[in-house]
Amino acid sequence: MVYLPAIRVAMEFEIKSWLKSLLFSTSEPLDIKKIQWVYNHVREQYSSSDDSEENTENPEPTAESTSGLNLNKFPVLLTSTSIREAMATLEKDFEERGEVYRLLHTKDGYRLCVAPEYSEWVRALRGELRPLRLSQAALETLAIVAYRQPVTRAEMERIRGVSVDSALSKLIELELVISRGRAELPGRPLQYGTTDKFLDFCGLESLTDLPTSDIVTTEQLDEWVNRPNMNDEETGQESLNLKVAE
């Protein structure tokens, strides 16, 4: 990568363009603290440089020593709110313009990724395997864990109406689900919850970003799961078919 010498062009600060330059320059996620550090570091560095030039008699400006930044046009403080708002605008802009890239927001920060419709071509170029796909049984079990965690195996089977042994073992193998201790119930059964890898798999920043159901509320599900005296036949007839969009 070639960096051109800095020249005095009275550059003004435009946050969306500035953020895009950072996003395009790295493959690692950028969190808000890192973005603010970059901004403050450069601003302070060039502010000190400009002060030194002003204190020098008859300075000889050069391309290397001239920042090209009009610091008077740069905000003194770059807030986390302004970064989030600008990122949200960028995300919307990329989708509306049909760009070949998308802005992804995960728990680790913001990063650019290839739009889904071009993913096959990029995987072929890199020689990568197709993305992980789960069976319907595994998806339903994963949805139960995600929304009900910490949840026991018995609770999962009561909701689905069938055994979850195979699906649960697969999810644990893929590191999407992990044991979260034992429940305060007879026999102290294991409880399960999702992992950070699950968030990356679903493109979520946190569990609060999970979509809410317009079919059944959490209270209704709690009441249904805890109903006493449900035999296997009733469980099978009333099992919930939880769907997760791929």
The first and second tokens of residue 54, run together, are 């002003």
| Strand-pair category, 190-194 with 101-106 | unpaired
| One domain, residues 188 and 229 | yes
The first and second tokens of residue 27, run together, are 């493959």
**Section 227-232 average pLDDT:** 52
The residue to which tokens 């992980």 are assigned: 132
Other beta carbons within 10 Å of 240: 19
Give the tens place of pLDDT for each residue, 168-182: 999 999 999 999 999
Q: Is residue 142 part of a domain?
A: yes
d(CA 44, CA 50): 10
Residue numbers of the domain that contains 148: 136-238
| One domain, residues 177 and 205 | yes
d(CA 9, CA 67): 9
Show which of 126, 155, 171 is a domain's final residue. 126
Q: Is residue 151 part of a domain?
A: yes
d(CA 99, CA 101): 5
Q: Is residue 167 part of a domain?
A: yes
Give the tens place of pLDDT for each residue, 64-86: 444 556 667 788 889 999 999 99
pTM score, whole prediction: 0.56
CATH number at residue 228: 1.10.10.10
| One domain, residues 143 and 106 | no
d(CA 203, CA 83): 20
Task: Count the domains in the chain.
Answer: 2
